């Protein structure tokens, strides 16, 4: 599972780097001297193409790692069958939940994903006890989890 997390971290860094170069082409080159603009555009475009090649290799390594483990492969196929869940989100879910073994119940997983509140009970069950949603995940995971639930509920 650690290897999958490292591959996903590398993928995230490459996507961030690609976005940075795309912004450079779009925005930053406006303020560059005209004689240098074409050179900077070409260099950034070459770097974007190089990053795309690296992303393909990393994504292939992620899929290979998932398919090497029969349990992960089965869960990956099931995740891909859900509307709104693609290969990247499926791999992230497998890594964050450690193959769905990290949480004892589905309610705890839903709370961690930020899609369902879990009643915070301390001691006796009180009618005024509050519900809470975990905020410990990175924002990208929040958006991905919420987006997949929105897609799933809109398909009803």
Q: 65: burial class by Cβ within 10 Å (0-12, 13-18, 19+)?
A: middle
Domain parsing of the chain, residue ranges: 1-68, 71-156
Of 7-16, 18-27, 118-127, highest mean pLDDT: 7-16
56 confidence band (pLDDT: 50, 70, 90): very high
Determine the pLDDT at residue 128.
Answer: 53
Question: Taken in order 108, 114, 116, 119, is the CA torsion positive or negative?
Answer: positive
pLDDT in tens, 81-122: 999 999 999 999 899 888 888 888 888 777 777 777 665 555
Q: Is there a contact between 91 and 62 (Cβ–Cβ < 8 Å)?
A: yes
Q: What's residue 142's pLDDT?
A: 53
In tens, the pLDDT along 35-52 reads 888 888 888 899 999 999
Query: Contact at 8 Å (CB) between 82 and 148?
Result: yes
CA dist 78 and 117 (Å) reads: 24
Cβ neighbours of residue 55 closer than 8 Å, sequence gap 6 or more:
11, 14, 15, 18
Strand partners, 131: 119
pTM of the predicted structure, to 2 decimals: 0.71
Q: What's the burial of 126, exposed, middle or buried (CB within 10 Å: 0-12/13-18/19+)? A: exposed
CB neighbourhood size of 4 (10 A): 21
């Amino acid at each position: 599972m650690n290897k999958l997390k490292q591959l996903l971290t590398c993928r995230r860094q490459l996507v961030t780097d690609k976005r940075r170069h795309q912004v450079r082409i779009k925005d930053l080159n406006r303020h560059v001297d005209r004689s240098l603009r074409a050179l900077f555009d070409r260099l950034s475009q070459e770097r974007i193409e190089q990053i795309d090649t690296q992303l393909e290799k990393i994504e292939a390594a992620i899929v290979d790692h998932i398919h090497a483990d029969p349990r992960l492969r089965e869960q990956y196929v099931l995740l891909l069958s859900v509307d709104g869940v693609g290969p990247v989100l499926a791999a992230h879910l497998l890594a964050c939940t450690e193959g769905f073994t990290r949480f004892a119940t589905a309610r705890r997983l839903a709370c961690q994903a930020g899609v369902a509140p879990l009643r915070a009970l301390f001691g006796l069950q009180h009618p005024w006890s509050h519900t809470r949603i975990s905020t410990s995940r990175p924002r990208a995971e929040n958006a991905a989890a919420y987006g997949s639930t929105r897609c799933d509920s809109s398909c009803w």
